[in-house]
Chain A
Amino acid sequence: MIRVAAVGDVHVGVDSAGRLRPRLEHVADVADVFLLAGDLTRCGSPEEAAVLVDELSGLGVPVIAVLGNHDYHADREVELRRTLERGGVTVLEGESTIVDVGGVRLGVAGGKGFGGGFAGACGSEFGEPEMKAFMHHSRQLAGGIARALEALDTDYKVALMHYAPVADTLVGERLEIYPFLGSYLLAEAVDQAGADLVIHGHAHGGTEKGVTAGGVHVRNVAMPVIRQAYAVYTLGGDDHARIGYDDRRVSAAAR
């Protein structure tokens, strides 16, 4: 069994030092890997990323992240990524990484993704150059995630992204902004390449649980959606379980 902890949209700023870490103290007790689904920072500065690195320091499990739209705002995403990587965070953009958990191999493929909308109500590479560029960017990043997933030959595969691959997990958001929240191209990429789970964020007003047309679990882990410091999902387990922190160890009793 592999235990995946995940959260998105932590929006760490220089005013956030020390706020996240106390709620991450037990990650290594309850999970084998910690995934960050973009919008790691508030404005996309490397200084904010450095605060996040401090919050994640010594977590005890591999930390894997993708960037979100906030992480691009300062046009310093290259520096930001470098800061995270120097701090031990693996950052994915059309790339993958493998975590070995007691001989079971978990592959994580990821990328930011982008908007564009969902089948039958989406943009297309037509018209003004700006519109073509918008949709080209979406198509290009979805393709990167598909190729990264296809390259994995592991026991389990997780697709990590910031934008939503399905409309299911947007329920609660205003319908008018769906094209800014995700793209069906992401779900199509996942279904073509195969995965056990998709993790995303971005849609703060959305819903946690969804599924792609191909039957892959989708979880929106934006912090305001899950309303906790992170969510824990198990792959290869049998049942839901409660988590106890009594003696800093997991006491998992079936519900």
Chain B
Amino acid sequence: MDTPHSDVPEYLAGHLHETLAEDPRVSEQGICVTVTPGNVFLTGVVSTVERRDAITEVAHEVAPDHRIHNQVTVGAFPEPTAQEALT
């Protein structure tokens, strides 16, 4: 049986973190979730705008009574400019 979701901030943060990993629209394990009364703050880095937007959608479904602050950034990682010599 699934664990019932809770509005207690610490437990809600845990459930959100798990859902963001398990929901196929997101599948991100590295999103940091902080919950305060009425608010959900999400931080981390993803590789596309679509994935960032999906995080908002999924978080809203899990915590519909909370305001979702999606502060996740989209990483634009450039070509390297240096190499490291290992000796």
Contact = CB atoms under 8 A, between A and B. Distances in A.
Interface of A: 3, 10-11, 13, 15-16, 19, 23, 25-26, 30, 42-43, 70, 73, 196-197, 204-205, 217, 223-224, 226-235, 237-243, 245, 252, 255
B42 to A, nearest CB: 15
B65 to A, nearest CB: 27
B51 to A, nearest CB: 7
A240 B50 CA distance: 37
A224 B73 CA distance: 11
Given A73-B27, A238-B85, A223 B80 contact: no
B38 interface: no
Contacts of A3: 83
B30 A241 contact: no
B1 interface: no
A244 to B, nearest CB: 8
Contacts, number: 90
Interface of B: 24, 27, 29-30, 45, 47-48, 50-51, 75, 77-87
A11 B85 contact: no
Contact of B84 (A23, A43, A232): A232
Contacts of A30: 80, 83
B48 A232 contact: no
A205 B87 CA distance: 26
A73 B27 CA distance: 9
Contact of A196 (B30, B83, B86): B86
Contact of A15 (B48, B78, B81, B83): B48
A224 B30 contact: yes
B14 to A, nearest CB: 12
A234 B80 CA distance: 14
Given A19-B47, A223-B77, A227-B77, A205 B83 contact: no
